[in-house]
Chains A and B, each alone.
Chain A
Amino acid sequence: MLEGILIGITTALTLQNLIFVMIGCLVGTFIGMLPGLGPMSAIALMIPIAISFEPSTGIILMAAVYYGAIFGGSTSSILINAPGVASTVATSFDGYPIARSGRAGKALAIAAYSSFSGGVIGAILLLVAAPSLAAVSLSFHSTDYFALMVLGLTAVAAFAGKGQVLKALLMTVFGLMLSTVGTDQTQGVQRFTFGMLDLLDGISFLLLAMATFALSEALLGVLRPKSDEDRRREMDAQRNIGSMALSTSEVKEIVPVIGRSSILGFLIGVLPGAGATIASFLAYGTEQRIAGQKKGAEFGKGSIRGLAAPESANNAAATGSFVPLLTLGIPGSGTTAIMLGAFISYGIQPGPRLYIDQPEIFWSVIISMWIGNIILLVLNLPLIPYIARILAIPGRFLLPLIFFFSLIGVYFVSFNTFDIHMMVIFAVGAVFLRLLGFPMAPMILGYILGGMMEENLRRALLINNDSWAFLWERPLTLGILIAAAAALVVPAVWPWISRMLGRRREDAGEGG
């Protein structure tokens, strides 16, 4: 492991890579700060540029954009109560009230320190967890991979939220369907191409990601213009930042919160489908309960604990979501699904072999997480008052630019104008589905895993002489499939179980 860390340090600490980590953090912060554009859009926008570099540099750049975007999202949550992404919604609960009380600088500093600590603690845990899991997963067969992918897809349902389970599952199936467009890799058969040459290679992952995230977000921005009140609020927020210094008592108060939330966030992040949003809400709720009656009552009104908890948890979860990606080649979230697409564009297949075959990439990604977090703290914190001015750029300039960068990002990879028109179709479809409340992340997860799932299932059948018995004969496969079934069934029956338990407790209370 020590040797691997040294390889990672040597790769990540080259001048070129350091510069790209810096650029990535800045660009990520910049994009993440724009309301609506989150890490997924930020990474998608960077892919065309990143793939023109060598793999380790490109991946490091995208990882840096990822942390930067999460950090940027927190800034817009705090300053204008407009979370860029779902994972920073909990940040706005207390961050915005602190900023409104004239202490925006303090709120931003707490967010920065918490993000930094969450990211660093997450990276330490990743350093330990990833190689161990990679070593174990070397014994995995294609049947187990198929089962793991099913688990990854069904886990989306477990964390989809109340009333969203069926919609998340349907969107996953929709993504799987899109992955079948093009030439079938094994039999060389055309599927859903309608005789069009442009569809022979299938729908490009980059096109789908850009259209459903960046372009549809810009289109929604055009459809829902900001009110004058919102504009005034943004201008005020970026003018009055205030002091960024923290007192000793404040530091003492948030340190244990950060420690607890980081570990919790990392563990949640490792679970497929859970991600930073669940982690931030869970950390917020946990800290509110731990804080006691007096401090707990401050949550939602400007509590520094309520700001530190989700901030450290979402960053640690972002790091944790790299564990299944790097060790199993299975993305745990929409963002890591896009990262997986980028890995595949390089011809790199993340998974247990990555740790052995390309240790410089495996370790440099992990090491770059530390460097990225340090740079975010050292470089971004003093620059925040200036970067925040981006919030003052009028939408009439910003939106056409987002349109342009999304379109050109795809066009510069394929040089095919058909892709631009296909993007419009997907973006319009995504806008309608989003207006109807259908989530996009499960779709991209389904799309990314679809091809791999089909390939692994086909290989498993081939090895097992076309017999489906491997699904129940191999204990590991069966175990993972049972976990997948549980991920589907438990959220559906949980309200019923908790109601039953509650009734039994009431009966016991009456009896006693």
Chain B
Amino acid sequence: MLTKDRIGGLLLLLFCSAYLYLSYGIRMLPFQKTHAFNAQTMPEALGFLGIGLSLAILVFSGKSEKLDLRGYNWGVGAWMIGLTIFYGFTIRSLGFIPSTTIFLMTGYIVLGERNPLILILASVPLVVAFWLLMTQALDIYVAPWPNPQSWLGFLWGIGSA
């Protein structure tokens, strides 16, 4: 029976097998290979240990719960993951203040807030205050607005292509 433990064990078995396979691809110089303990020793041992433990879970997991994925908001979760990836791409190109404001506002909308005034009040002042705290009080500088140079470079790249 495919229980929670077995699914987890199977996933980690795949990971450990891939890890062990890749550990054989660690490139060393010939003299490094002769050491009793080299860069490959620990990964190799861990790979075997991980495979052994995953197999033990698959065999001895007994009557654990079955995985039930119903009742979860998968769509909203996917939106938030997508939004986070988008934030990673925009934080530098758009600058901290616009990108974070977009991130927070969209996050509130995705999770159900629709009032435009609340959306603005719960994001803009917070983002500006946070930026001020970081740059003025803690001396951590982050560009607040888009950097024209990076955009020019980006557009130049597209133009020349």
Residues of A bordering B, CB below 8 Å:
49, 52, 163, 166-167, 169-170, 173-174, 176-177, 180, 184, 186-187, 189-192, 219, 222-225, 395-397, 399-401, 403-404, 407-408, 411-412, 415, 417, 420-421, 423-424, 428, 432-433, 435-438, 454, 457-458, 461, 466
Residues of chain B within 8 A (CB-CB) of A223 are: 72-74, 76-77
**A436:B67 contact, CB within 8 angstroms:** yes
Residues of chain B within 8 A (CB-CB) of A225 are: 73, 76
**With contacts A224-B72, A400-B111 known, is A169 near B138, CB below 8 A?**
no
When chains A and B are docked, how far (Å) is the Cα of A435 from the Cα of B3? 12
Residues of chain A within 8 A (CB-CB) of B89 are: 417
The contact of A191 among B39, B77, B92, by CB within 8 Å, is B39
When chains A and B are docked, how far (Å) is the Cα of A177 from the Cα of B49? 10
Minimum distance in angstroms from B92 CB to a CB of chain A = 6
Residues of chain A within 8 A (CB-CB) of B8 are: 167, 433, 436-438
When chains A and B are docked, how far (Å) is the Cα of A124 from the Cα of B142? 43
**With contacts A167-B57, A184-B39, A437-B65 known, is A417 near B22, CB below 8 A?**
no
**With contacts A189-B39, A224-B72, A428-B81 known, is A49 near B138, CB below 8 A?**
yes
Cβ contacts B1-23/A at 8 Å (1 or 0 each): 00011011101100110010011
Minimum distance in angstroms from A53 CB to a CB of chain B = 9
* Binding stretch for chain A, among B26-34, B144-152, B153-161: B26-34
Question: Residue of A at shortest CB range from B9?
Answer: A170
Nearest 9 Cβ contacts at the A-B interface: A400-B107, A420-B88, A396-B111, A466-B36, A436-B8, A189-B39, A184-B39, A170-B53, A223-B72
When chains A and B are docked, how far (Å) is the Cα of A401 from the Cα of B140? 20
**A424:B111 contact, CB within 8 angstroms:** no
**A400:B108 contact, CB within 8 angstroms:** yes
The contact of A404 among B61, B88, B100, B139, by CB within 8 Å, is B100
**A424:B81 contact, CB within 8 angstroms:** yes
Residues of chain A within 8 A (CB-CB) of B71 are: 224
**A174:B108 contact, CB within 8 angstroms:** no
A-B contact pairs, 14 of them (CB 8 A): A170-B54, A180-B42, A186-B39, A187-B39, A191-B23, A191-B26, A219-B80, A403-B84, A415-B142, A417-B88, A421-B85, A421-B88, A437-B64, A457-B37
**With contacts A223-B74, A397-B108, A438-B8 known, is A461 near B46, CB below 8 A?**
no
Give me 18 other A-B pairs in contact (C-beta within 8 A), A187-B35, A225-B76, A401-B104 excluded: A166-B53, A166-B61, A167-B57, A170-B54, A173-B53, A176-B42, A176-B46, A177-B50, A180-B42, A187-B28, A189-B39, A191-B26, A192-B19, A192-B23, A222-B76, A438-B8, A438-B12, A461-B36
Question: Residue of B at shortest CB range from A428?
Answer: B81
**A435:B67 contact, CB within 8 angstroms:** yes
**B113:A397 contact, CB within 8 angstroms:** yes
Cβ contacts B91-134/A at 8 Å (1 or 0 each): 11000000010011001100111000000001000100010001
**B104:A404 contact, CB within 8 angstroms:** yes
Residues of chain A within 8 A (CB-CB) of B65 are: 437
**A412:B140 contact, CB within 8 angstroms:** yes
Residues of chain A within 8 A (CB-CB) of B54 are: 170
Residues of chain B within 8 A (CB-CB) of A397 are: 108, 113, 122
Residues of chain A within 8 A (CB-CB) of B111 are: 222, 395-396, 399-400
The contact of B103 among A395, A400, A415, by CB within 8 Å, is A400
Question: Residue of B at shortest CB range from A432?
Answer: B11
Residues of chain B within 8 A (CB-CB) of A408 are: 100, 130
When chains A and B are docked, how far (Å) is the Cα of A479 from the Cα of B109? 59
Residues of chain B within 8 A (CB-CB) of A424 are: 81, 84-85, 88
Question: Residue of A at shortest CB range from B58?
Answer: A166
**A52:B140 contact, CB within 8 angstroms:** yes
The contact of A166 among B28, B43, B60, by CB within 8 Å, is B60
**A166:B56 contact, CB within 8 angstroms:** yes
**With contacts A52-B138, A176-B46, A437-B4 known, is A222 near B80, CB below 8 A?**
yes
Residues of chain A within 8 A (CB-CB) of B64 are: 163, 437
**B113:A169 contact, CB within 8 angstroms:** no
When chains A and B are docked, how far (Å) is the Cα of A214 from the Cα of B5? 24
When chains A and B are docked, how far (Å) is the Cα of A424 from the Cα of B103? 15
**A436:B73 contact, CB within 8 angstroms:** no
**B50:A412 contact, CB within 8 angstroms:** no
**With contacts A189-B27, A223-B73, A436-B4 known, is A52 near B112, CB below 8 A?**
no
Question: Residue of A at shortest CB range from B68?
Answer: A435
Question: Residue of B at shortest CB range from A420?
Answer: B88
**B134:A412 contact, CB within 8 angstroms:** yes
When chains A and B are docked, how far (Å) is the Cα of A432 from the Cα of B7? 10
The contact of B57 among A170, A404, A415, A458, by CB within 8 Å, is A170
Minimum distance in angstroms from B69 CB to a CB of chain A = 8
**B53:A169 contact, CB within 8 angstroms:** yes
Q: Which of B42, B138, B139 has the most CB of A within 10 A?
A: B42
**B77:A174 contact, CB within 8 angstroms:** no
Question: Residue of B at shortest CB range from A175?
Answer: B46
Minimum distance in angstroms from B146 CB to a CB of chain A = 15
When chains A and B are docked, how far (Å) is the Cα of A438 from the Cα of B35? 36
When chains A and B are docked, how far (Å) is the Cα of A461 from the Cα of B35? 10
**B37:A177 contact, CB within 8 angstroms:** no
When chains A and B are docked, how far (Å) is the Cα of A417 from the Cα of B23? 27
Question: Residue of A at shortest CB range from B134?
Answer: A412
**A399:B107 contact, CB within 8 angstroms:** yes
Minimum distance in angstroms from B147 CB to a CB of chain A = 13
**A170:B12 contact, CB within 8 angstroms:** yes
Question: Residue of A at shortest CB range from B65?
Answer: A437
